[in-house]
Each structure stands twice: as C-alpha cells, then as structure tokens.
Amino acid sequence: MILYAAILETIDPEKDAEVLDEHKAYLNRYIDEGKIYAKGPFTDHSGGLIIYNVETIDEAKSIIEKDPVIREKSRTYKLKEWRSNIE
C-alpha cells in the first residue's frame, strides 16, 4: 500500500498556537473522508506527522498546502512517498 507521509516542523510556536484549532478541524475533515490514515504530534512539541491515504503525491501536496499551519507559515513540511506493510 502506497501512502504519503508528511513531517511538519513548527517554526513559529506562537502563530502555531493561534491556528491549532483550525488545523485540527481541517485534518478531521480529511479523516472523515478517509484521506488521512494517521496523524499526531511529536511528544517534544516540535511538530507532527500526517500520513495521507490518497491516489497521488500531488493530491497529498494539495491538501497539505491548504492546511492552516502551512498556509499561515507556522510550520514547514517534508512530504515523502511511503510504503506501508499493513494491508
């Protein structure tokens, strides 16, 4: 199974706190649609991980670039194709 993993790194903690609720609501919409496989924060508060269950990396990129934490520049991201061993 090919998925897409995004590592989000917090670069502006104050701005990040301001948009956190909007970010969570945004992600929940895609969880409800089945387009997010897993998500969660890092325990050191440096950002988080989102695993997208979409057809292409371009679709994952489109979703992540509209995320409030990316749009408001409180986080940066790296997006990678990832092969899950769970079927």
Ranges of H-type helices in the chain: 13-32, 57-65, 68-71
How many C-beta neighbours within 10 Å does residue 27 have?
19
pLDDT at 1: 82
Of 84 and 62, which is predicted with more confidence? 62
Q: Which fold has domain 2-83?
A: Alpha-Beta Plaits (3.30.70)
Task: Determine the number of helices (DSSP H) and then strands (DSSP E) in the chain.
Answer: 3, 4
* pTM of the predicted protein model: 0.92
pLDDT at 85: 84
Could you state, in order of their start, the residue ranges of all structural domains in the chain?
2-83
Find the mean pLDDT for residues 5-10. Answer: 98
* pLDDT tens track for 13-71: 999 999 999 999 999 999 999 999 999 999 999 999 999 999 999 999 999 999 999 99
